[in-house]
Chains A and B, each alone.
Chain A
Amino acid sequence: MTSITSPETAGPKRPPSAHAAATHTRRRGNRPSGLPWILPAYVFVVGLLYYCIIETGYLSTLDWDGTSPDPVSVGAQNYVDIFNDPVFWKAIRNTIEFLVVTFTVQTALGFVLAALLHSKIKLAGIYKVIIFTPVIIAAATMAPVFRQLFAADGQLNWTLEHIGLGFLAQPWLAQSSTALPAVMAITVWQFTGLTFVLYYAAMGQIDPEILEAARMDGAGNIRTLLAIIWPSVRGTTVALGMLSVIGALKTFDVPYLVTLGGPNYATEFLGTYIYRISIPSAHVGYGAALSVMLLILALVGSLAVAVRANRERRSHV
């Protein structure tokens, strides 16, 4: 009778990790470097992306109008000015409010709509198209529509007046108190479809047996949604969180096209402020410093979401 012995049992005993490391080292030693394979992409990324970042960093040390052949070096003065710039802080506050509201509302709507459309609902295909269509419409196309919709004599106020809610009618885009919520509403309308699609796909990966087991244990719809489905799509929520942080920091098209960042900076974001400072005001150096701040905030924000997500995952293990 022949017995088959595995290498582990035949040879001298050594820790599996050490064995794996040795194997890995041996393989790496025999293998040619990967540099030639990544070189085209590496050159492209370094040459384009990092070149732009380095150049922006350099520009941020200048007092320059963008065309003059003799820019003046001002060192870190632009950064000092940023910390004393009330419009910058206003833009940060707006960004935080915008992020919290749009992320919360989009996540709630996207999650609920995805759950609903996973149930046996009639005309589900049509609903999916309706929910997702705003994602593919350019903001530039919709901006005039929303300016008209939210205008003092626009369709929203007209509707309110005709359903007996005329006391709520107001010039939505003309007031600091309502302009930012209007921009948030447009953004939620535009991007809920994306949140919905990602949740819909994530929910499709949940093992049906888990849901069935929950049902057998007596869990109702709400309980199943909150205790089973929500934790199962946590990865999607984290990814959406990161995208929302970056998206909020980069917000430009909707506030610029609908409100021009106004009134009185009520809808100013870093993106709109950078544009106004760099282009119409021709302070390219200061605009570059703001861009660097934007980059730093985007990195810090994304890392914060990732770190928090990792901690939560470990605590659940």
Chain B
Amino acid sequence: MFGSPPVRKRSLAAAVALAAGLALAGCAGAAKTETQNKGAADTGSVTWWGWTPDDTPAKAYITAFNKAYPNIKVTYKKLTIDGYNAALRPALASSVGPDVFDVAPGAANGSVEIYGVDAVDLTPAVSKTLGSDWKNKLSPIGVSSLTVDGQLKALSLGAVYSGTLWINQDLFDKYGLTAPKTYDEWKKVCAALASHNVGCFVQGAGQPAFNEDTLQAISDNVQPGWWGQALKGEVKWTDPAMVKTLTIWKQLFTDGIMQKGALGTQQYPDANNGFMSAKYAMVMMGTWYMQYSTVAGSTAAISGAGVANPKPFTQTAVPFPDVAGTGHVGALYGDADFGLAVNKKSKAINAATTFVTWLGASAEGQQLVANILNDIPALTSAKPNWPQVNLVNAKVQQPSLDKLITDAGKSTEPRLATVSADLQTAIGVASTTVAAGSATPAEAAATLQATADKIKK
């Protein structure tokens, strides 16, 4: 009935061979093509996955979009920063992945270089919305950093810049302090805050990706423009500028500016929560923190940090102090924050494209982006309409935000867009080994250069 033993053995061998063959065949990469039935442009359901924005601004975006397109239902799913790639990759490989997903330039989460292969080219859609001169109407950084092989793989909502400290102005006022402008002032401010049992500066140095922001700020203070050259490989990481940068970085730990145990702290959630719960008065964050200047944004963030009965406080951005004593302060560096990409396998490509172009390229959508203050809008004509923005302390925050937005618009220094994941890891290792005292700044710089050389190969 089931064949003689030799026949069974042969059948079994054939089955195993077939299974192995199928397995290997299934492993081969296949070209990814767009769904043919793209659905209607003004009706349908769209799922959107991202690690940013927070739920509050996302809800505001969707609500405003639905006033223009009531028949497109958009569902936003916010994932953690660290878990985004792990969730997105299998989702895009399946046929039930998100219709719209966040991507970012460089090696950050949702790297457009990696996930752009799954995204629709949005050039025709943007051209239709903004006209043939669409490139002149959008921030160049948003277009260039999200273009892969000549295709616009995602539409930037806006840009984010780093290089600033964010301070709890209310705490500074309470203790009669002013934001530090020099290294010595920074130490004095920390000592004063400590005398009131308030933490000074909090950094999640155990999550090394964020250490790069602080290192770049120090480097821009030591020698403006050097960091960008190093990322391009035009100068060696062993250059005295990097050694000096790492030396100052180490001093932040030894001089009590950085909080104790920083290497065991993560930027998200620990450092963010520490600042939002007013345990610490300063944190190294970028323009994405502008959203917490509003009553709604601040209240939600403080609540998210685990504070009962959250009361918004005045958060303002200040330039990174002149830690090297060179007088070069105020540098900002940034990239397109994130772009919205449309999944090639989506069964609602047209509806998804409608949502993405409305938010990323229409005057209404970009005005909303400007007002929510999560990003500096991609559409260059969009500016925050302050009367519509409910700031916690408009008198203090509005001038600060105006200056920050203006300064950011002048910046051409990239933040993460040109950093590969391997180089980012190597920079992180340099930062943590120096902070832990297991390598001198010169040794860490040499190791970083050696790693950078290997990456080039």
Contacts and interface: CB of A to CB of B under 8 A. Distances in A.
Interface of A: 32-33, 35-36, 46-47, 50-51, 54-55, 58-59, 64-71, 144, 147, 150-153, 171-176, 179, 259-260, 262-264, 275, 279-282
Given A67-B114, A150-B264, A54 B24 contact: yes
B453 interface: no
Interface string B10-37: 0000011001101110110111100000
B318 interface: no
Contact of A68 (B26, B29, B262): B29
A69 B92 CA distance: 13
A171 B2 contact: no
A152 B261 contact: yes
A174 B19 contact: no
A47 B429 CA distance: 41
B260 interface: yes
Contact of A175 (B207, B263, B429): B263
Contacts of A175: 263-264, 436
13 contacts: A46-B16, A47-B19, A54-B24, A58-B24, A67-B115, A67-B117, A68-B114, A151-B264, A171-B261, A171-B264, A174-B206, A174-B261, A259-B264
Given A51-B23, A264-B433, A153 B261 contact: yes
A281 B425 contact: yes
Interface in B328-373: none
A260 B2 contact: no
B421 to A, nearest CB: 5
B206 A35 contact: no
B393 interface: no
A173 B264 contact: yes
B39 to A, nearest CB: 24
B270 interface: yes
Interface in B289-316: none
A303 to B, nearest CB: 23
A55 B21 CA distance: 10
B8 interface: yes
Given A50-B19, A175-B263, A71 B432 contact: no
Contacts of B261: 151-153, 171-174
A153 B260 contact: yes
B114 A263 contact: no
Given A67-B118, A69-B32, A174-B206, A55 B26 contact: yes
A260 B263 CA distance: 11
Name the 3 nearest CB pairs between A and B, nearest first. A152-B261, A173-B264, A171-B261
A282 B207 CA distance: 18
Nearest to A147: B270
A152 B264 contact: yes
Nearest to A64: B29
A36 B433 CA distance: 59
A65 B117 CA distance: 11
A22 to B, nearest CB: 19
B432 A264 contact: yes
B255 to A, nearest CB: 16
A285 B257 CA distance: 42
Interface of B: 1-2, 8, 15-16, 19-20, 22-24, 26-27, 29-32, 82, 85-86, 89, 92-93, 111, 114-115, 117-118, 199, 206-208, 259-266, 269-270, 421-422, 425, 429, 432-433, 435-436, 438
Contact of B114 (A35, A65, A179, A275): A65
A174 B265 CA distance: 7
A256 B19 CA distance: 35
Contact of B23 (A54, A152, A282): A54
Contacts of A51: 19, 22-23
Nearest to A284: B89
Contacts of A260: 206-207, 266
A279 B114 CA distance: 11
B82 to A, nearest CB: 8
A158 to B, nearest CB: 13
A55 B27 CA distance: 6
B264 A264 contact: no
Contacts of A58: 23-24, 27
B117 A68 contact: yes
Nearest to A32: B1
Q: Which of A47, A66, A68 has the most CB of B within 10 A?
A: A66
Contacts of B30: 69
A259 B270 CA distance: 12
B20 A71 contact: no
A114 B381 CA distance: 72
B114 A71 contact: no
A35 B266 contact: no
Contacts of A66: 89, 114
A171 B263 contact: yes
Contacts of A35: 2, 8
A69 B30 CA distance: 5
A161 B363 CA distance: 59
Nearest to B89: A66
Nearest to B92: A67
